[in-house]
Structure 1
Amino acid sequence: MNNQNRADDATLSLQIEDALVARNLRGMKTVQSALQTGYYLRAARILNKCKGHVLIGTGFPVIDTFETDGPVGAIALYDALETLGATPVIVCGPPVSQALMQNYRVHEIRVGEHQERALEAFKALYHFQPDAVLSIERPGQAADGGYYNMRGESISARTACFDTFINNAKCPTIGIGDGGNEIGMGNITEALKDLDIVSATTRVDELLIADVSNWGAYGILAMLSVMNDIDLLASVKPREILEYLSNLGSVDGVTRQNELTEDGLDPSEGEAVLLQLRQIIGMV
């Protein structure tokens, strides 16, 4: 790759980064300057090299089920990585694990506080020997070791621990979040102090932020599309994935209702973001 291509990729990544926090729904635009630019490019480069297993942790508990933000992006990433020759595995706890098991490779982890969190991670990491471990919209442990939602309510009893996977992985780790309480936000702890959130302390090699975490997955796909000269975004259908998840019992994380929305937004918002990303990378 010549220097011109490198510069072009860096420019595209910056355009994607800015587009994905433009709405500033939960303060991600506010904290963006805490990150070194090029994070979508760097994450895509990690994933572009993967030909073995890629572990994708997702599933944010809401009431007694799971929210739509996270699994939509996880499914989009799963399909794209499979297209590119990797073997993705979605790692999550019930009920989202049970919901996805029929159609995807799923590794189920145990919900709630227990003594075998580290052992659970070590066993899985040894078994899969992943090329990368990625977290999208998964709760991250706060300074006290607990898990909290956007309202500051404890969700520890309903959360499976993916932090141990991230902390013990011998491969690159990526975190995608949109509020400050997700895995990876430990990278920008200081910047999050001004937000009304119990922030997560778990760190990753590359933190990616977006107004909606699902959109962060689309940002990675945009950069992978450029690298492979293939439009990986064209086949992403947020509305269809939302319908699929809704039928399996998902709820919107903001409204807490079983509806075809993500973080209170109509699927047309996600579709508009997909179109914008495809325009940025010159695929439409």
Structure 2
Amino acid sequence: PVSGSFESDGPISAISLYRVLARLNYTPVFACAPPISKILSDRYKTYELSIDSWGKSRPAIKKALTDLNPSLIVSIERPGVAADGRYYNMNGQDITDFTAKFDLFFQDSQCPCIAFGDGGNEIGMGNVAKTLSQFDIIPSITPCDELVIASVSNWGVYGVMAALFDLINKDLFELIDPESTANYLAANGCIDGVTKRREASEDGFPIAISKAIIQQLRDLVFN
């Protein structure tokens, strides 16, 4: 959550990952809270979460796990709970009132959980809690099975997808389209998490940077 809306880092790559998994005949589902759940549900299969207390969220997440029966859970740039039970952005601002308790998926699921982050406050950063204690941030304590840290979380997702394409020997880079996705999200209220502006960018970087990274990954895997 940022400036009463949602940020571009996370959703842009999540939509690309959704497309890739669907092409590979999996059934991806976005589990998220408003406002982004309302926007994504127009185009994608979505399971809406509520923003509520821990006591009310735990049975709701247990129900979601029963309903969805996931084989894999992925968190991209989602805030993770801190040691005091609250949520903070990377600047130390309390965002608890705007954050769904997605950590409970990682705590209660029986399947593998992968997390992507860049600022230390995201789900999964519990894996590197000792290292993060050296920095002036309020880190998340939620661990995961596999943690991917990147300068921008979206870029880490592109890297993992490139590794997947290499593993299965299929060039699905055409499904990764950050520019049109960013424009779609910005038109629906998405905010750049760094500039705090409604624009087609991610963490202050123009989308052209993502496009260049994706091309470099494609060249690395298939050329």
Quick check: TM above 0.5? yes
Q: 2:19 aligns with which of 79, 85, 91?
A: 79
State the Cα deviation string for residues 44-64 of structure 1 (Å, max 9, x = none). xxxxxxxxxxxxxxxxx0021
1:119 aligns to 2:59 (yes or no): yes
**Contact 1:113/1:157 (CA < 8 Å) preserved in 2?**
no
Aligned to 1:235: 175
What does 1:1-284 correspond to in 2, within 5 Å? Answer: 61-281=1-221, 283-284=222-223
* Distance in 2 between residues matched to 1:114 and 1:98, nearest whole Å: 23
The alignment partner of 1:74 has SS state of: helix
The alignment partner of 1:62 has SS state of: coil
* Distance in 2 between residues matched to 1:106 and 1:185, nearest whole Å: 25
**Contact 1:176/1:213 (CA < 8 Å) preserved in 2?**
yes
The alignment partner of 1:221 has SS state of: helix
Task: Measure how far apart 1:219 and its partner are.
Answer: 1.2
**Contact 2:124/2:143 (CA < 8 Å) preserved in 1?**
yes
* Distance in 1 between residues matched to 2:25 and 2:40, nearest whole Å: 21
Q: CA RMSD, aligned part only?
A: 1.0
**Contact 1:139/1:181 (CA < 8 Å) preserved in 2?**
yes
Aligned to 1:20: none
**Contact 1:65/1:250 (CA < 8 Å) preserved in 2?**
yes
Aligned to 1:57: none
| TM-score (normalised: structure 1) | 0.77
**Contact 2:74/2:113 (CA < 8 Å) preserved in 1?**
yes
State the Cα deviation string for residues 113-148 of structure 1 (Å, max 9, x = none). 352111011001011111011100100000011000
Give, as a single letter, the amino acid of the residue that structure 1 aligns with 2:73.
V
State the Cα deviation string for residues 208-251 of structure 1 (Å, max 9, x = none). 11111111111121011012111122331111000000011000
**Contact 1:130/1:171 (CA < 8 Å) preserved in 2?**
yes
**Contact 1:70/1:138 (CA < 8 Å) preserved in 2?**
yes
Aligned residues: 223
| TM-score (normalised: structure 2) | 0.97
**Contact 2:19/2:175 (CA < 8 Å) preserved in 1?**
no
Amino-acid identity (%): 44
State the Cα deviation string for residues 52-79 of structure 1 (Å, max 9, x = none). xxxxxxxxx0021000000001101100
